[in-house]
Amino acid sequence: MNERKEARRSGASSFLFARTVCGSAIASGSTIAAFSLLNCLSIGYNSRYDVNEKGETRMAALVNEIAFDTSRVNGMNLHTLATDKFKTTTLVVMIQQELSEQYVTKTSLLSMVLKRATARFPDTRKLREQLDFLYGAIFDMDVVKKGERQVLQLYMEVPNEKYLSDHTPLLEQAVQFVGDVLARPYLENGAFADKYVTAEKEALRKRIESLIDDKMKYANQRITEEMCKGEPFALLANGRAEDLPAITGANLYQYYQELISQNPVDIFVVGDVDRSEVAQYIQQHLTISRQPEKRLPAANQEKPVTSIREVVERLDVNQAKLHIGCRTHITYKDDDYPALVVFNGVLGGFPHSKLFLNVREKASLAYYAVSRLESHKGILMMMSGIDAANYEKAVRIMKEQVELVRQGQISEREMEQTKATIANQYRELTDNPKMMIDFAYNGVVSGRKRPLEELLGQIEEVTVDDVKRVAGKLAIDTIYLLRDRKGEA
């Protein structure tokens, strides 16, 4: 018994460390971390670069494919990746919902209420004790935005019992726990308990309202709202505070029943597992009364860019935030996507990119200067921290970098460095089960699965002319400046 308690303590410690490292993949994470995370999740693969006798950097041919085995179990999609690379087993459940005013706040609140208690563990303390019993298992729920889809996701990570002296059937118990959360929630009088709903409504209200405290995240949301007015993508994944008063335990439970029975559900399992055993556990413990799957509306509304909008907002800030939002007219499923990834890398994805070198290093106008892609919506965002007095000059130089790429003024070294740096991100992808899952789920959401080997070949074949072509499709939509209350706009 003492050995078991000690194992639980050490297990909890190691998994807490893992959570600290990759928790941003589950929750919002820091904005800076999100830059590389979005790039990794959109384009990740496992590869390496070799240098030949001429000093040329070329992508190596050997690739480790991320190959999930997919089947239907209880009306849900089960994706299993059996590998002995990890000493833990990762389970992720993704439930898709259209991003809309009707559902956005309820879906976000639901993710918070479901993780408070279950029928078997009717209070949060007992639920946490069960996680401790499972050797410090990690569990969380949250919502994310992928284009114009809102995804409710459940994450769980447990040690693989094969590597423990005590061979408790942790995988089955973890699946049972997931089933408790998703299929057997804690109810009072046929509805979610008012005490939990009230507490989580207040917590969600504070989370939404605290966005303004992180000025970089706030600026990113504000330009998204301005740029995508009238489009679902303008909505914050966490929802709207003004919706909360109307939500009750009863109507939230009714919404839960509709969501869990009709919407697309994808279950991912990564670890040293037997596929048939996983399917058996899911069939036994994750029993949901599923109806014919709801067909979600087509995603990715697009507006033509007729003119560039400029928006200036004033708050008490020391450093101005300059964000330039662009429509790429290319998404993850499109043939030009690999060239778009390279374009983003050349423009502002890395420290060797044009934005960093010319806006920050040479002109000394910015504290940072980067670009990132939202690959499911087809948006590229250039972001910079500047002194407000340098606003016009910074905008001019940032536009100039886009124009240089359009003209094909890209050196061979820039292309090589960009592809090599992307390759390093891909290599890291297969070291993280959650990121492998996100990569695979991009294919589910977009409707186009991209085998890693195929994507690697496409990235390698991208030429300067390809980058010029996708740069030519780019249209600057909105320029947003968050600045102090002093001086002229």
Query: Got the DSSP string for 295-308?
Result: -PPP--------S-
**Four-CA torsion 184, 105, 28, 92, nearest 10 degrees:** 30
Name the residue type at position 158.
Answer: V
Query: Got the DSSP string for 333-354?
Result: TSTTHHHHHHHHIIIIISTTSH
Which residue has better confidence, 467 or 54?
467
Query: CA separation (Å) from 384 to 225, 307, 312, 417?
Result: 18, 22, 15, 22
| Percent residues over pLDDT 90 in the chain | 78
CA–CA distance, 405 with 464 (Å, rounded to integer): 9
| β-bridge mates for residue 324, sequence order | 382, 479
CA–CA distance, 338 with 43 (Å, rounded to integer): 8
Instruction: Give the predicted TM-score (pTM) of the model.
Output: 0.88
| β-bridge mates for residue 95, sequence order | 152, 265
How are the residues of the chain apportioned to helix, strand and coil, as percentages rounded to the nearest 5? 50, 20, 30
How many DSSP H helices and E strands does the chain contain?
16, 15
Position 57 scores a pLDDT of: 43
Is the separation of the CB atoms in 239 and 204 below 8 Å?
A: yes
Please give the class, per CATH, of domain 309-483.
alpha beta
Strands lying side by side in the sheet with 138-146: 69-73, 76-82, 265-271, 88-98, 149-159, 138-146
Residue 445 pLDDT class (50, 70, 90 cuts) = very high
CB atoms within 10 A of CB 356: 22
Is the separation of the CB atoms in 386 and 319 below 8 Å?
A: yes
CA–CA distance, 202 with 191 (Å, rounded to integer): 19
Q: What are the tokens at 443?
A: 């294919």
Considering only CA atoms, give the Rg of the chain: 23
Per-residue pLDDT tens for 33-47? 333 333 333 332 233
Q: Is the pLDDT of residue 1 over 60?
A: no
Q: Is the pLDDT of residue 133 over 60?
A: yes
Torsion sign over Cα 84, 88, 89, 90: negative
Q: Is the pLDDT of residue 301 over 80?
A: no
CA–CA distance, 164 with 120 (Å, rounded to integer): 26
Q: What are the tokens at 289?
A: 């009364």
Nearest by Cα to 441 from 268, 269, 293, 297: 268
Q: Do the bridges between strand 265-271 and strand 76-82 make them parallel or antiparallel, or are there none, so unpaired?
A: parallel
Per-residue pLDDT tens for 374-433? 999 999 999 999 999 999 999 999 999 999 999 999 999 999 999 999 988 877 888 999
Main-chain phi, psi angles of 358, to 5 degrees: -95, -35
Q: What is the DSSP letter of 361?
A: I
- Give the three-state DSSP class for 230: coil
Average pLDDT of the residues in 169-179: 97
Is the separation of the CB atoms in 9 and 132 below 8 Å?
A: no
CA–CA distance, 393 with 183 (Å, rounded to integer): 56
Average pLDDT of the residues in 430-446: 94
Nearest by Cα to 40 from 376, 348, 433, 422: 422
CA–CA distance, 156 with 255 (Å, rounded to integer): 24
Instruction: Report the alpha-carbon angle 107-437-457, nearest 5.
Output: 130
| Range with lowest mean pLDDT among 141-155, 256-270, 294-308, 363-377 | 294-308
| Extents of the domains making up the chain | 2-34+70-214+233-285, 309-483
| β-bridge mates for residue 370, sequence order | 383
Give the end-to-end CA distance of the chain in Å, rounded to a whole number.
68
Query: CA separation (Å) from 401 to 126, 369, 407, 421?
Result: 56, 12, 10, 20
**What is the fold, at CATH topology level, of the domain defined by 2-34+70-214+233-285?**
Cytochrome Bc1 Complex; Chain A, domain 1 (3.30.830)
Burial bucket for residue 39 (CB in 10 Å: 0-12, 13-18, 19+): buried
Position 428 scores a pLDDT of: 82
Same fold, 2-34+70-214+233-285 and 309-483: yes
Query: CA separation (Å) from 454 to 45, 357, 457?
Result: 10, 32, 5
Q: Is the pLDDT of residue 284 over 60?
A: yes
Q: Is the pLDDT of residue 50 over 50?
A: no
Q: Do the bridges between strand 138-146 and strand 149-159 make them parallel or antiparallel, or are there none, so unpaired?
A: antiparallel
Per-residue pLDDT tens for 75-118? 999 999 999 999 999 999 999 999 999 999 999 999 999 999 99
Position 488 scores a pLDDT of: 63
